Structure 1
Amino acid sequence: MTGTIYARRLSVPAGILRHAVLLVTGALVLVPFAWMISLSIKPPGEIFRASFSFWPAQFYGVENYTKALTEAPLPRYMGNGLIICTLILALQTLVCAPCAYALAKLTFPGRDLLFRLVLIGLLLPHQVLSLPLFVFGYELGILDTYAALIFPYVVSPFGIFLFRQFFKTIPDDVVHAARLDGLSEIAIVWKIVMPMALPAVIAFSIFSVVSHWNDLFWPLIAVRDQSLMPPSIGIMAFKNEEAGNDYGPLMAASTLVVLPLVIAFLSAHKWFVEGTIWGAAK
């Protein structure tokens, strides 16, 4: 009894320390977003003031957000981002789910070697492959098209790894029962395994959409047509080397671009946490 009370006394300071660290870390993460929102509602004269205040003396949000939506085709850029992210996610799921199922539930020669290759793929930055991908895209004639922005991401080592780890948690008896019912392996993937792996699918969807919505490096290389530009490049339309950056509309455009990601994450954060924890636990 005494030991239990002593352990509880020790756990209270530890819990306070953990929460303090989390609060400080969360504040450091949120400060840039709060600063971005503050700048998006300030007039140019207040942006570079030495004294800081979150709320401006003169509210300039309507003007800044109006410029963000009218001076550059921001809705077009965001529509491009939606098309690109949706197609990438759909193709990644179609490719990664069967691959992950094979690595998790099937036995065949070279399976472990293939999984090691997937892990190696996780270690390679995408920038390393940019030059061969650019040359390959040029040979295929897909540069400056939607295909150039989608094709390099169809196979996702991270997606294969995450799905494989989640599929390993599904009992083999479920798969055996589906086979006895006459389902093919592909049917098992889409009718049995994937519905059971919904948290992993949602977690991967958030990772994929955030990554490609914010991608700047590859779109700068792959496209030149302004009508194809995703949001990450579209924001650069507010950068002017001669007249200087228009920071108010720039921050307003950045806020509008980030807002859909924040809403999506807040709507699905429970499944996101569940999917990542299950995958890591295995």
Structure 2
Amino acid sequence: MSILRFAYAIAAPTAILRHAALLITAALILIPFVWMVSLSIKPPAEIFGASFSFWPQQFYGIENYTEALTKAPLLRYMLNGVLVCAMILSLQIAVCTPAAYALAKLEFPGRNLLFALVLIALLLPHEVLALPLFILGYKIGILNTYAALVFPYVVSPFGIFLFRQFFKTIPDDIVHAARLDGFSELAIVWRIVVPMALPAIIAFSIFSVVGNWNSLFWPLIAVREQSLMPPPLGLMAFKNEDTGIDYGPLMAGSTIVVAPLVIVFLFAQRWFIGGLTSGGIK
């Protein structure tokens, strides 16, 4: 009994410290979002006021959100974001899944070298490739089109790495049995491996959608037409060279843009965590 009391006496402070660290970290992550929502419902006078409060003295949310939806075609920007993210994700899964399967389940010369190149590609910031991609897009004539927003992201080193790690956890006996049944390698990928790897695909989908939905650097280079702009680039419409930035509508527009990502993540977080952890077990 004394041993149990001693163990509890040690575990209790550890648990308190662990939960305190988690709460502090969560607060640091959430405060900017809470502050964004707070600014989106404040009048201009309170945004730049000397007093600090999360809840406004005068509720100005209707005006800010109405201006966010009318000053710029925000819904059009969000539709562009949905189209671009959907096209990128579909092509990434179509390309990365067979590549990851080959690296995980097939034996061929140079496999380890190719996987090493994938790891090296993970270390390179995407901005490093912006200039050659811009020149290539100009040469083939896709600048200022949806293709310009999609083309640079079709091959995802992170997707290949994540899928490969997950495919390594699938027993080889399943693949051998499918081959004995007459399945081709592509049939094994799409009819057997992909259904088993659904958690990893959902986890990658969240990473892909969030990253491309929030992308600003490349769209700023690739498109000029307002009808093609994704949400982050469209939010720059709230910047006025003469009057400065209209922070109330800008924060309201940012809240509208961020809200779908938060909702999707809350619904898919179980598969997201499962996809990441199952790929790391191997």
TM-score band w.r.t. shorter chain: over 0.9
Q: Following the alignment from structure 1 to structure 2, what is the Cα–Cα distance between the partners of residues 3 and 212? A: 53
Equivalent residue, structure 2, for 1:121: 121
Q: Following the alignment from structure 2 to structure 1, what is the Cα–Cα distance between the partners of residues 57 and 212? A: 37
Equivalent residue, structure 2, for 1:30: 30
Greater mean alpha carbon deviation, residues 27-36 or residues 178-187: 178-187
Greater mean alpha carbon deviation, residues 52-61 or residues 110-119: 52-61
Residue type of the alignment partner of 2:82: L
Q: Following the alignment from structure 2 to structure 1, what is the Cα–Cα distance between the partners of residues 272 and 2? A: 40
Equivalent residue, structure 2, for 1:107: 107
Equivalent residue, structure 1, for 2:95: 95
Q: How does 1:1-282 map to 2 (within 5 A)?
A: 2-282=2-282
Greater mean alpha carbon deviation, residues 172-181 or residues 262-271: 172-181
TM-score between both structures, scaled by the size of structure 1: 0.98
- Three-state SS of the structure 2 residue aligned to 1:58 is coil
Q: Following the alignment from structure 2 to structure 1, what is the Cα–Cα distance between the partners of residues 281 and 23? A: 25
Greater mean alpha carbon deviation, residues 271-280 or residues 196-205: 271-280
Per-residue deviation, residues 2-57 of structure 1 (Å, max 9, x unmatched): 54543332111111111100000000000000000000001111111111111111
Q: Following the alignment from structure 2 to structure 1, what is the Cα–Cα distance between the partners of residues 8 and 192? A: 44
Residue type of the alignment partner of 1:13: P
Per-residue deviation, residues 176-228 of structure 1 (Å, max 9, x unmatched): 11111111110111111111111100000000000000000000011111110
User: C-alpha displacement at 1:280, in angstroms?
Assistant: 2.3
Q: Following the alignment from structure 2 to structure 1, what is the Cα–Cα distance between the partners of residues 57 and 176? A: 68
**How many residue pairs end up in the alignment?**
282
- What residue ranges of structure 2 are gaps of 5+ in the alignment? none
Q: Following the alignment from structure 1 to structure 2, what is the Cα–Cα distance between the partners of residues 151 and 4? A: 60
Greater mean alpha carbon deviation, residues 152-161 or residues 48-57: 48-57
Residue type of the alignment partner of 1:203: A
Q: Following the alignment from structure 1 to structure 2, what is the Cα–Cα distance between the partners of residues 134 and 243? A: 32
Q: Following the alignment from structure 1 to structure 2, what is the Cα–Cα distance between the partners of residues 117 and 191? A: 28
Per-residue deviation, residues 52-83 of structure 1 (Å, max 9, x unmatched): 11111111111100000011000000000000
% of aligned pairs identical?
72
TM-score between both structures, scaled by the size of structure 2: 0.98
Q: Following the alignment from structure 2 to structure 1, what is the Cα–Cα distance between the partners of residues 179 and 274? A: 28
Residue type of the alignment partner of 1:117: L
Q: Following the alignment from structure 1 to structure 2, what is the Cα–Cα distance between the partners of residues 181 and 18? A: 51
Residue type of the alignment partner of 1:132: P
- Three-state SS of the structure 1 residue aligned to 2:51 is coil
Q: Following the alignment from structure 1 to structure 2, what is the Cα–Cα distance between the partners of residues 14 and 239? A: 48
Q: Following the alignment from structure 2 to structure 1, what is the Cα–Cα distance between the partners of residues 222 and 199? A: 33
> RMSD value over aligned CA atoms?
0.9
Greater mean alpha carbon deviation, residues 89-98 or residues 48-57: 48-57
Residue type of the alignment partner of 2:122: L
Residue type of the alignment partner of 2:136: F
Residue type of the alignment partner of 1:257: V
Q: Following the alignment from structure 2 to structure 1, what is the Cα–Cα distance between the partners of residues 196 and 6? A: 43
User: C-alpha displacement at 1:281, in angstroms?
Assistant: 2.6
Q: Following the alignment from structure 1 to structure 2, what is the Cα–Cα distance between the partners of residues 248 and 43? A: 7
Residue type of the alignment partner of 1:34: V
Residue type of the alignment partner of 1:152: P
Residue type of the alignment partner of 2:124: L
Q: Following the alignment from structure 2 to structure 1, what is the Cα–Cα distance between the partners of residues 3 and 153? A: 55
Residue type of the alignment partner of 1:274: G
Residue type of the alignment partner of 1:17: L
